[in-house]
Amino acid sequence: MEFGIFSVSDVTRDPVSGVTPSEAERITGLTEIAVHAEEVGFDVFAIGEHHNPPFFSSSPTTFLSYVAAKTKTLRLSTSTTLITTNDPVRIAEEYAMLQHLAGGRMDLMLGRGNTAPVYPWFGKDIRTALPLALENYNLLHRLWTEDVVDFEGKFRTPLQGFTSTPRPLDDVAPFVWHGSIRTPEIAEQAAYYGDGFFANHLFAPSEHFMRLVKFYRERYEHYGHGTQAQAIVGLGGQTFIAKKSQDAIDGFRPYFNEAPVYGHGPRMEDFTSQTPLTVGSPQEVIDKTLTFREKFGDYQRQMFLIDHAGLPTKTVMEQLDLLGSEVLPTLRAEMAKGRDPEVPEAPTHESLVKAKYGDAEPRQPRPNANRGDNVTGGSPYQDSPAKRGSSFGL
């Protein structure tokens, strides 16, 4: 069972101090948060992708590459990468590069995002969002699993003899989660490819997300990837913690009341009783998180949102310290008790390499051995030096 934190990278006014951090301060602060997450025992750190204020994370791979260089064990992911408005070729290239730089300790979550204006900003039509997401992932999947791709679809120019570079590390594609809040077609897509399904699990009752997870598990089995219990499921969650419950309630209330998503809406006590949000002591966080297993069954990845709504970096660090010392050890032990032995762990690069190659050495793609030429579809290194020069000297 993996535990992690994820961020939407909002740059929000602190309602207590009245200070809005600069983008530079927020970027630096979130880097420190990611590094400290590893130090206190978290397994995963993920960041979203946004292209509008008040968010800064327009380039997740750049940010995650920097975090990779400052960490040793932390798995890096996204929450989410926009499969609709990004070119699949660019996603294939950028995340394969991140995979190499991070030594394989990365995966990514694909989604359509929640900002409607992003579509025209990138020349897309939101009315085609779902078929665009489906077609783009089909191409991305092929770019990572086929050395030379011919492709013709509805939403982009054709590809002929195209090779995405760099090829995935060890010729094994990064593991993909498909994230959804409400769309069964995305759960279907995840099941069809045998990928993971991540339920946002924020801002709505768990029962809303349980329907999607149940559907995904059923379809995963339908497509022959394994039993429903073997499907790969991740859940979000949201928490604010203090040693004493009342201190957590008093500390988080001003941030809750002004939060961009739910501020000026329901009472915090009502919101915590109706959604996965937990505001309280370490034991209360433990108790509520364990109810997720009761509702969803055994799953592979639990992520927590802890840095939004203007919370200062210092406060988030304190949250991490408490979660790492007083919550994670108990959650790991309790989640392991009675866990169905049929349920796999979350896929890692190492486990995917083992599944593909067994004890054999992984294939290491090289242009002269097993890749085509994006100009001709042939292999330029197999020709004469003169031909090699003409092929790459365009």
Same structural domain, 126 and 57: yes
Same structural domain, 33 and 140: yes
Q: How many domains does the chain have?
A: 2
Same structural domain, 281 and 295: yes
Give, for all 394 residues of the chain, the pLDDT tens digit: 999 999 999 999 999 999 999 999 999 999 999 999 999 999 999 999 888 889 898 999 999 999 999 999 999 999 988 888 889 999 999 999 999 999 999 999 998 866 667 777 777 777 887 889 899 999 999 999 999 999 999 999 999 999 999 999 999 999 999 998 888 999 999 999 999 999 999 989 999 999 999 999 999 999 999 999 999 999 999 999 999 999 999 999 999 999 988 889 999 999 999 999 999 999 999 999 999 999 999 999 999 999 999 999 999 999 999 999 999 999 999 999 999 999 999 999 999 999 999 999 999 988 654 455 444 444 443 343 333 332 322 2
Same structural domain, 167 and 286: yes
Beta strands (DSSP E) in the chain are 2-7, 44-47, 75-78, 81-82, 108-111, 149-151, 159-162, 176-180, 196-199, 233-235, 239-241, 278-280, 301-304
Same structural domain, 78 and 165: yes
Same structural domain, 291 and 272: yes
Q: Is the dihedral of CA 42, 97, 191, 230 positive or negative?
A: negative
d(CA 178, CA 52): 22
pTM, full prediction: 0.91
Same structural domain, 272 and 335: yes
Same structural domain, 326 and 370: no
Same structural domain, 133 and 255: yes
Residue 190 sits in a domain whose CATH number is 3.20.20.30
Same structural domain, 254 and 388: no
Same structural domain, 252 and 357: yes
Q: Cβ(82)–Cβ(118) under 8 Å?
A: yes
Same structural domain, 288 and 381: no
Name residue, tokens 């932390």.
Answer: 74
Domain span including residue 140: 2-365
